[in-house]
Chains A and B, each alone.
Chain A
Amino acid sequence: MAWIGSSYSPFGRRAAPPTIPVVVYGTRWCGMSQMVRRHLDRLGVPYEYVDLEMEPDAARRLAWMTGGSVSHPTVYVGGELLVEPSLRELDWALRRSGLR
């Protein structure tokens, strides 16, 4: 998964990620995926976009994290996985992570 394996410092201790990672797993044609991406665009929240149709490995790993379902959009915000969140739910998660 995009955020895995990036938080170890050269000194063997866990290092803080530089920013709270936000990853949007979606498809280009999914209305809610587009709504979530545009919402983050408007807020100026940096995020990584993973197209589930272009990256089957990501889809497989997402299924592992969500108990077997690959739903879009699924949004990862600093440790929380939100499957098909409303924009309000997304805002709550962003606030908990200090991104809003």
Chain B
Amino acid sequence: MNPEERQSLPEQFPRRLHDLEQRFGALQEKLDPSPTTDAISVLHGMVHELWRSLRRGGSPLEERGITLDDIAELYRYAPKMEGPALNSPLPPGTTAPEFALPDASGRLVHLSDYRGTPLVVAFYPLDWSPGCSQQLELYQNEIDEFDRRDAKLVGISVDSVYSHGAWAAVRGISFPLLADFNPKGDVARRYGVYRDADGFSERALYVIDADGVIRYSHVSPELHHVPDIYQLFRALDDLTTEHRQAAA
């Protein structure tokens, strides 16, 4: 091997792996279904998982204390939250019902505080649960995108201010989480998205314009379905465009 070839090894490595993966993938069509075929498939999956566990750092058997990351990942092993939607959202054009709910610090937050700016209200079933953990982290990662559209964001669930505080700290959520705790689910009811049988809300989104009018509403058809973020951005873009045209 000449020095030039040796230098190019790091670049070649993933390419070789890629070629091997292609060959492995293509072999599926040539194998009949059988326990042996299943075993080969399982072994291939094991190789990838072993590779990943080594790359995570440290031995998988290494003993360590529980970290915040472990707590943040608890939702992956939590009981599933599933079920079809039971409610329909208030339609666009409706004046958004006023509310006053405490955030994690106990400060009372009113809908009218957001008058003059577009607001996304995300009703979600419960802190710590699988779909909600992913949905709110997704929004946290997109804070710049909401800012770019001059939109604010709040989350609402029936959890207490203390649960909201702990959950937001673990997940790094910086936008307000409001406690629809007492009377339980009162605001979710007024927005038509409370699930009486479950004691929590649908997974629902409202986009409310600067005048307090609902411009977009969505209830996930299944509880564990996180609304399409690209669709939410489109709804906000429509509102922003309209707002800027009216101002011009």
Contact = CB atoms under 8 A, between A and B. Distances in A.
B55 A89 contact: yes
19 contacts: A4-B25, A7-B18, A14-B19, A17-B15, A20-B14, A29-B227, A29-B228, A30-B134, A31-B137, A32-B134, A34-B138, A38-B138, A61-B28, A64-B25, A67-B46, A68-B38, A79-B14, A85-B52, A86-B73
B134 A35 contact: yes
Contact of B25 (A1, A14, A78, A83): A1
A6 B23 CA distance: 11
Interface centre among A14, A38, A39 (most CB of B within 10 A): A38
Nearest to B230: A34
B198 interface: no
B48 interface: yes
B152 interface: no
Nearest to B15: A16
B98 interface: no
B110 interface: no
Given A3-B22, A5-B22, A96 B135 contact: no
Contact size range, A: 35 or more
A78 B14 contact: yes
Contacts of B224: 29
Nearest 4 interchain pairs by C-beta? A67-B45, A31-B134, A79-B17, A29-B225
Nearest to A31: B134
B24 A65 contact: yes
A97 B14 contact: yes
A4 to B, nearest CB: 5
Contacts of A83: 45, 48-49
A79 B47 CA distance: 12
Interface in B10-60: 10-11, 14-22, 24-26, 28, 38, 41-46, 48-49, 51-52, 55-56
B48 A68 contact: no
A32 B38 CA distance: 28
B210 interface: no
Interface string A18-37: 00110000001111101100
A67 B17 contact: no
A40 interface: no
A68 B15 contact: no
B21 A81 contact: yes
B18 A21 contact: yes
A64 B51 contact: no
Nearest to A3: B22
B22 A31 contact: no
B45 A68 contact: yes
Contact of A5 (B15, B24, B26, B73): B26
B141 interface: yes
